[in-house]
């Protein structure tokens, strides 16, 4: 289940991606597909199977969503308290993150378009498999960014070792803008605007990295490209990853893979580690190190 670019084309990142999902009570769990007049265009999308449609919730349903949100926000805190009673402190089950303040209420509170596209524009060519409500169980979509293209791959758990399907691609120069959309679960939404004026909103595995790559604000580097102080700090992070997990999750094992490094425009280096755990899984960990070798948290990287 893999895909590799041809020789001469550099792979910059590959992450899980799908159409985003509304989080405001009126549109929670929903998504819509619109033209520039805000008409529903689902039936106009060629080859798309029928979906659940978009029907904003009434007041009674919205109240139920708010109550569920409050309950779910408390669950991680309770699990972390139980885990920390017998293990080093930390948040193995994650801290709850509510959505930020909506920047565009018409597109995030009252409606939730994940495709905004006039007839004949690029966003209308996106594959239906990006929609979690349409694709088969056990199927996922991944976003691939190279130095030449933006691609969407389809991966089926039932396909075993079969290669991933290339569902869609576009040259990088068709992407006009990428921006973080913080009114989302853990700030994981990204809006991608195409040169023809159409846009799409996706939930992606690493929003900050994708936006930085598409904007040219990050570039892959090696250990030879960083300062001596950064090199020393990177070695420390590899030797002792700053990761605490519950005993129920497993013990932290030594890092065996070299870290992936990205340099930001101010010289800060993003250090991406894959930390193995004793239960056979891996935990991804990212730390930012400035040219002086000090851990920092650059603006715009909040999760």
Q: What is the pLDDT of residues 111-156, one digit of tens each?
A: 999 999 999 999 999 999 999 999 989 899 999 999 999 999 999 8
In angstroms, the Cα distances linking 302 to 94, 260, 298 are 14, 19, 8
CB–CB of 122/113 below 8 Å? Answer: no
In which residue are the tokens 């659940």 written?
Answer: 52
Tens of pLDDT, residues 261-277: 989 989 999 998 989 99
Name the H helices within 23-103: 59-84
Token pair, residue 299, equals: 């603006």
Band of pLDDT at residue 159, cut at 50, 70 and 90 = low
Lowest model confidence (mean pLDDT) among 11-15, 67-71, 153-157, 207-211: 67-71
Lowest model confidence (mean pLDDT) among 92-96, 141-145, 196-200, 241-245: 92-96
N- to C-terminal Cα separation, the chain? 29
* Among candidate residues 65, 93, 68, 67, the one with its CA nearest the CA of residue 78: 93
The pLDDT of residue 88 is: 38
By the 10 Å C-beta count (0-12 exposed, 13-18 middle, 19+ buried), 230 is classed as: buried
The pLDDT of residue 108 is: 96
The pLDDT of residue 48 is: 96
By the 10 Å C-beta count (0-12 exposed, 13-18 middle, 19+ buried), 21 is classed as: buried
The pLDDT of residue 101 is: 81
Instruction: Give the number of other Cβ atoms within 10 Å of residue 272's Cβ.
Output: 15
- Is the confidence at residue 73, as pLDDT, over 50? no
Tens of pLDDT, residues 233-249: 999 999 999 988 888 77
At residue 135, φ and ψ (nearest 5 deg) are -75, 160
More confident residue, 249 or 182: 182
């Amino acid at each position: 289940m893999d895909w590799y670019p041809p020789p001469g084309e550099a792979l910059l990142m590959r992450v899980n991606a799908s159409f985003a999902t509304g989080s405001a009570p009126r549109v929670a769990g929903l998504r819509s597909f619109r033209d520039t007049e805000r008409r529903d265009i689902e039936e106009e999308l060629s080859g798309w199977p029928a979906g659940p449609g978009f029907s904003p919730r009434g007041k009674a349903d919205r109240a139920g969503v708010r109550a569920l949100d409050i309950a779910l926000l408390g669950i991680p805190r309770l699990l972390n308290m139980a885990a920390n009673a017998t293990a080093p402190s930390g948040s193995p089950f994650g801290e709850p993150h509510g959505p930020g303040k909506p920047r565009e209420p018409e597109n995030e509170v009252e409606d939730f378009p994940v495709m905004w596209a006039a007839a004949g524009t690029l966003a209308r060519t996106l594959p239906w498999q990006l929609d979690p409500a349409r694709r088969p169980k056990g199927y996922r979509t991944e976003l691939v960014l190279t130095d030449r293209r933006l691609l969407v791959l389809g991966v089926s758990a039932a396909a075993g070792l079969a290669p991933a399907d290339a569902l869609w691609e576009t040259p990088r120069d068709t992407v006009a803008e990428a921006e973080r959309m913080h009114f989302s679960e853990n700030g994981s939404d990204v809006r991608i605007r195409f040169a023809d004026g159409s846009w799409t909103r996706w939930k992606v595995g690493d929003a900050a990295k994708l936006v930085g790559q598409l904007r040219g604000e990050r570039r892959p580097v090696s250990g030879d490209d960083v300062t001596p102080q950064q090199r020393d700090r990177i070695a420390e992070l590899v030797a002792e990853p700053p990761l605490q997990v519950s005993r129920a999750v497993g013990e932290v094992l030594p890092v065996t893979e070299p870290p992936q490094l990205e340099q930001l425009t101010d010289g800060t280096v993003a250090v991406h580690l894959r930390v193995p755990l004793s239960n056979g899984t891996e935990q991804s960990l990212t730390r930012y190190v400035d040219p002086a070798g000090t851990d920092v948290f650059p603006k715009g990287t909040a999760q």
